[in-house]
Structure formats: structure tokens, C-alpha cells
Structure 1
Amino acid sequence: MLSYNIILFFVFLLSLPYLLIKAISSKRFRYRFFDRINPDPIKQSEYILVHLASLGEAKAFLNIKNTIESIFKKKLLFSVTSNIGYDYLKSQGLEVFLAPLDFIFLYKKLFNYNLPHLAIFFETEIWPSYLNYLRKYNVRVILINARMSDRSYKFYLRFKVFYEAISKFDIIIAKSQKDMEKFNKFNKNVKLCDNVKYALGKKTFDYDFLLTLKMDNKKIFVFASFHKQELEFLQKAINEVLSLGYRVIIAPRYMEDLPLFEKFLKGIAVEYSMLSKLSDIKDCVLVDRFGILEALYSISSMVFVGGSLSGKLKGHNPIEPAVYNNFVFCGRFMDSFAQEVEYLKNLGCLTQIDNINNLKEHILKIQNLRILSFDKKKEEIENCYKSLLLKLTQA
């Protein structure tokens, strides 16, 4: 562990010029950067620590938040690695902090011996120093909804420090049989529950803009969580969808990219309204508000999930729109959601395309959207977690 921290420190020093340039040019990157290298000590006591990566993981975990709280009877404190995950959890009224860089001495400052009753890590969040510090003080640590890509599997086998880190979990709850088999190579206490992201239930929303968007009964097509790298695809896609009589809603993944999307729409001469200013509503609406994507899914009929049209990206969660009975489109690059994509494909409510010319053709083919119910799946997942975690409390 000492060697890992030394190597990490030198990598940090060598990367410092790049990090400074990145911090200047990217608001998202510099967001509360000093909190990551000089964390405030935790003041809560008798809490359960939940460590997540970003927005998608935060939303997924909240599907079973009540189950976790009912089992352990403790308050949850969240640790995240991204600004959008931080902002989202704050917007839900939850206690959250940005995880520091993975150095042992930063965790000493963070916890200051005020350790959690239990630490829960989510999916792929395997940080050697974080885990080592907690286990050093006999904090039980578990990994839930655990997943491991083929690339990660080879990487972990090659580097002993990650091999050892995975072995430190008291229990690993994998989200699929394939993931369980991979984790078994590193840890002998691996169990299986279904994907937590399938435990999502429908919500009701009372935003005024929903009534405005629906008032003329136009069908709604959402381009969700699109990145600036995907604007070229949008150029033709918007007009194709508009020509079919849909109202198009475009939701950038990052609000800091909003000016780029505005410039893009003006450049292709598409008239649009901002979501925050719908008094003069157009057939194209640009979302300028964070955290309301699920509300838009509740009134749309088709969604194209962004982050899936560039090899540099790995996709976003297609389950969220499917829960609201949307037909889901996405590109070929859905590495982080391969299991979810196959699941929805088998249900007949998702298709992957990489050629914009195919989009209009697919839309015209879809006459009747399949009505899905995740209620039974949600109950099964909650019961599975209850069974496994109750055993942990009794151990």
C-alpha cells in the first residue's frame, strides 16, 4: 500500500501542469477541487458511508436507499467523485461530500477517527487506499451492484494492489452471473442479486413546464444526456424527428456546455425555446435546468440516450426512460450499460443505431410501445438485498 501511495503521488506531481490547465479550462473539473486535496473532517457519528461515482450511480442507489436504512437503522452519508453526483444528492436533501484523492493521509484527515458503522461501495468504485484505511480500523466494507468489464478484469489481475483491494470486501453483491464469476477470482464471498438499476419505480412530477410541453398533444422525443462530441449526429437527427411531427427536447449532459448547444441550434437555423422560458414554445426545446430529465421521460414516447455515439464515451442508463414506457434508441458505445441494453433489446423496447439515416426508418416502424412494469423486479431486488444484508448484521 505504501508503494501504491508513492507511485500515485509521483503520478499526481507529474500530472499537475495538466491538472492546472484542465482546472482553468473546465468548470466541471475545477469544481471544489481543493476539497479533494484538503477535505474537511467528517462530523457525523453513527452513520453508514455510501461511496458512489457520479449521477447515474447516485440515482441507482436511491432505488434501494430505504431498504438499506430499514436494515441498519443508521443515517447515510454519501461520498462521490463527481460534481454532478454531488449536486444531485444535495438537491435530494442528502448529506454528501466529494471524495478526496486516493491517498492514505487524506483519509486520516477526512475521518479523524470518526469512522462509519459500515461502508458501502457501488459498482466499480474500488479505491485501494480508501478500502485499506477503512479495513485497518475494522470497518466492514461491502461492494454492491458490482460489475467488472473484461478490460478491468485483465487490469486487476495484472496489478496486485487492486487484486488485494477487492479481496478486502466483506461481501460483494454482483449484478450478474458473469460479474460474479469474475469477482470470484479475487474474493470468495461473492453473492448475486439482480441489477439495482432495474429497481427503479415510476414517480409523479408536478413541474409547470410538463403541462406546457403537453398542451398541444404533440408526441415528444427526447435526446437525453447528449455530449458536445455528439452534436454532429444531432444536426440531421433533429430535422428528421421534427419532420415526423414530434416535439424535440434536447438535454445536454453538462450544463456548462449549454452555450455550445445554443450556438449549434442557431447555426443549423432550428428555432428553439429554452425550457425555463416556454411562454413562446417552439417544436424544439433546449433543457437549461439540471435534474429534471426523469420528469421529461414521464411525458415522452421516445428517447435517444446520449453518451453512446463516440468511442470516448460509454453511454448512459437506458433503464430510466424505459420505465416510463419510452422506446429507447442509443448508439453503439454503451460499454457501461451492456447488460441493460441486452435486457431491453430482449424486451423489444430498445434498438442501437450508428447511422442517422436509420433513425427515421426505425421510428416509423414502431407503432405500439410495449408497456413495461418493473414493480415485480423492484420487489425481487429489494428482497434479495434484505436477505443478504440482514445476514451481514447478524454475523
Structure 2
Amino acid sequence: MPILALYRLATIALTPLARPLLAIRARQGKEDPARLNERLGFASLPRPAGRLVWLHGASLGESLSLLPLIDRFIQRGVEVLVTSGTVTSARLLAARLPAGAFHQFLPLDAPRFVERFLDHWRPDLALFAESELWPNIVASIHKRRAPLVLVNARISTASAERWRRAPGVGASLFGKIDLCLAQDPENAARFLGLGAPRARVAGNLKFDVPPPPIEAAQLAGFKGAIGARPVFAAVSTHPGEEAFILDAHQEMARQMPALLTVIAPRHPERGAEIAGLARSRGLNAVQRSAGAQPQRDAQIYVADTVGELGLIFRSAEVVFMGRSLAPGGGHNPIEAAKLGCAILHGPSVEDFADVYAELNAAKGAARVSDAPGLARAALYLLSQPARTRKMGRAGAEAVERLGGASQEIMTAIEPYLAQLAAARQ
């Protein structure tokens, strides 16, 4: 029996376990307890009348990359359904989605849940970000003759090689994609090799995402609490990296006693753990989730809340991007660059290699190898304000030059939109 048929049978057999599994995940903070039914395909909102485009991003980064497209669809008078699979992405999208767009959680990939979801929403066009492809969902979209377009598409060499080991499976799945709009020629070639019927390069949507917004009064209050202190921020950090950050802080503080170091972990629920680690070293650490402000006596400020990186990037002169000192692949530095931060990163940035290569070449970012190197680089930049501002401008200009993917994508899917408009008339 073909592998995809076995997968379908397995998901049908496991369907009764969905509710208990979701309940466990909700207790772990991985699901929204009030919206578990959405994961079973039950809609919590009515379907709007008229044309509906469905955009899906797996988690936070992929979801935010869709914002430029969402704005363009709304300007065209099209209603937009946005789905994602994580609690963090749902919270952030709730704050950043414009009028005319709304969020639902993606249903689990079991036929009963998928059919229930599609019966209600009846999307006219589906756009999925990067390489988020669930076999039952893809098959159901294809069966209903709704075009499926992969946008900002990318797939690693290792992932592509795994798909090639099962050529029938890959061809069956990727062959159902109507159009693949890849980030670069290499990714376009990989999708074609896996069976996608059409692929072209449209660029990286993440360069078009606007900087995260922040209220002026909130920013003024935050900066007022900091005062004239130098600020170093480490954002999207992962377990193991905070020890490096604290080592660097203690090294820098010997020469810069007023230094404030802000740590914004990728997973905010780790805030208490990080604050405890800092206190075990004799450092005064406070948590934003507890309502604390970065007052003069705070040495480590743990920004353990969701959706406030815009506040951090606008307040810090120098920013270290996490998941890069320890093996991990790095995190997206584009928002920090757009807001003029001087960016430091470790050697492990393969998930965003092209972005960091552009920033490094423009001298808008610099690589460090360890905690002493991070301390030296950050201390140098904090003591050289003119050099730091120049580095920040270089990074902002580099990401501005690389924008334009949202317009390329809209141009590529114009035939689909025209067909939908004609069908509605």
C-alpha cells in the first residue's frame, strides 16, 4: 500500500486520541485551552461572504512573514483567513492583523478535522508559507480544486534529500502544489526536483515585513526607566545561551558598571529560570512579566513577554541574535536591522545564512565565536556610539535593498485572483 495511504489510515485510527492529546498540550502551555475545538476543525467565527484567501504560516516567523501579503489582499477587497499552529503566533497575530483578516488555529491533519475545516471556510485560494505541507490537508485542498500556492518557499538540502528517498511520496505531495514561489534559485530547483510542477523565484517575504509596532507612550516610559544607561540586548535566546550572555555581561560590567543587559528568551515561559540563573551569580535580575521596569538598580532585565521585541529593538544600541552561539541555525535578524540595531551573532546561522551574509557584507552585523568575543564586540560598540549608529544604518539599508517579494508574489498570483473575481461575478 502507498505510504500516503498508510499515513491517511493511521491518522484516521488516531483520531479518537486527538482530544486527550490536545488537553495534555494545553496543560503544558502549547495549546490555547479556550480554542482547542479549532484544532479539531470547528470554526469559532462565521465565514465572511465573498472571496476568501487562506494564508497559513506554521509558527511565529512564518506567520509574520505573511503580513505584507495580508495587507495587499485586503487592499484588493479580499477577506483573509490566517492560520498557524502555535500559541505564540496566535497572540502576536491578534495584535498585528489588520481589519479584514482573522485568525484560526490549523486543524490537526486527520481527514475528519480537515474536511470539517474546509466545509466551513471554503477557501478560494490557499497560500502556505515556506514548506509547511500536511498530506491530508494538501490532498483535501486539491480534491476541492482550490489552487495551492507555496510562498516564501524554502526547503533545506537535508529535507529535500529525505523526500527523494521516497520519490513516489514526494511526487504525489509536491505535485499537488499549483505554484511554488521560492526565496532563491536553489530552493526553486529543489522543489522542481521533488515534483512541483512550476516554481519561480520571488524573493524573501521577511524583508517586506514592517517593524513591530509600539505605542509611543510605552516606549517613552521604558526609555525613561533606563535613563542614560548603555543597553545591550540578547533576543530569541535558547537554553545554554543565557550562560554565555551572563558571562559577557559580567565581563563588560567591569568596564561599564552602569550596563543594563536585556534578555528576551525565544520561549517566554523560561523567564523565571533565566532570572534565577542571573541571581545565582549575584546579579540583580527583574522580569517584565512581573511588571518590573528596568530601573537603575536592575542589571539583568528579562523580557519574558510576547510581542514586545519592537520595544527592545528601539531601546538597545547593540543586539545579539540568539540560537547562534550554540548549534541551532540562528533567528531572523531583519526586524532588528530595520530598526537600526547593530547586530551581533554566533557562528550557527545556517537557517538564515543568506540574510546574515548580506548584513555581514554590508557591515551591518558581525560574527562572534564565544562569550569573550561577544563581550569584546559589544563593549567596543557600546563605547563607540558613532560606529554603532553607522553599523545600524548599514544594516537597515541592506534589508531595504532586498525587499520587494510581496509585489513579486502578487504579480505571480494575479491570474488566480482574476479567475476568482470572474467566477464571483
Q: Tell whether the structures are fold-level matches, with TM greater than 0.5.
A: yes
- The separation in 1 between residues aligned to 2:325 and 2:16, in whole angstroms, is 34
The 5 A counterparts of 1:131-280 are 131-159=138-166, 160-185=168-193, 186-202=195-211, 205-215=214-224, 216-245=227-256, 246-275=259-288, 276-278=291-293, 280=295
2:88: which partner in 1? 84
How big is the shift at 1:350? 2.0
Equivalent residue for 2:117, pick from 110, 133, 141: 110
Task: Please tell me whether the aligned partners of residues 200 and 323 of structure 1 are also in contact (alpha carbons under 8 angstroms).
Answer: no
2:60: which partner in 1? 55
Task: Please tell me whether the aligned partners of residues 310 and 333 of structure 1 are also in contact (alpha carbons under 8 angstroms).
Answer: yes
Structure 2 segments unaligned to the other structure (5+ residues): 420-425
How big is the shift at 1:8? 4.6
1:3: which partner in 2? 6
1:382: which partner in 2? 406
The 5 A counterparts of 1:339-350 are 339-350=354-365
1:318: which partner in 2? 333
2:311: which partner in 1? 295
| Cα distance change on mapping 1:391 and 1:112 into 2, 3 Å | closer
- The separation in 1 between residues aligned to 2:155 and 2:294, in whole angstroms, is 47
User: Which residue identity does 1:352 align to in structure 2?
Assistant: R
User: Which residue identity does 2:215 align to in structure 1?
Assistant: D
How big is the shift at 1:140? 0.9
* 2:75 is aligned with 1:64: no
- The separation in 2 between residues aligned to 1:86 and 1:39, in whole angstroms, is 16
Task: Please tell me whether the aligned partners of residues 157 and 163 of structure 1 are also in contact (alpha carbons under 8 angstroms).
Answer: no
- The separation in 1 between residues aligned to 2:278 and 2:144, in whole angstroms, is 55
How many percent of aligned residue pairs carry the same amino acid? 19
How big is the shift at 1:15? 11
- The separation in 2 between residues aligned to 1:392 and 1:108, in whole angstroms, is 23
| Cα distance change on mapping 1:11 and 1:362 into 2, 3 Å | farther
Task: Please tell me whether the aligned partners of residues 52 and 79 of structure 2 are also in contact (alpha carbons under 8 angstroms).
Answer: yes
How big is the shift at 1:37? 5.2
CA deviations on 1:153-176 (whole Å, 9 max, x unpaired) are: 101212333432222111111011
- The separation in 2 between residues aligned to 1:260 and 1:23, in whole angstroms, is 21
* 2:416 is aligned with 1:392: yes
| Cα distance change on mapping 1:40 and 1:8 into 2, 3 Å | closer
Equivalenced residues, count: 391
How big is the shift at 1:238? 2.3
- The separation in 1 between residues aligned to 2:411 and 2:80, in whole angstroms, is 20
1:286: which partner in 2? 302
How big is the shift at 1:358? 1.0
- The separation in 2 between residues aligned to 1:162 and 1:12, in whole angstroms, is 24
What's the secondary structure of 1:64's corresponding residue?
A: helix
Structure 1 segments unaligned to the other structure (5+ residues): none
- Compare 146-155 and 215-224 and name the one that shifted more: 215-224
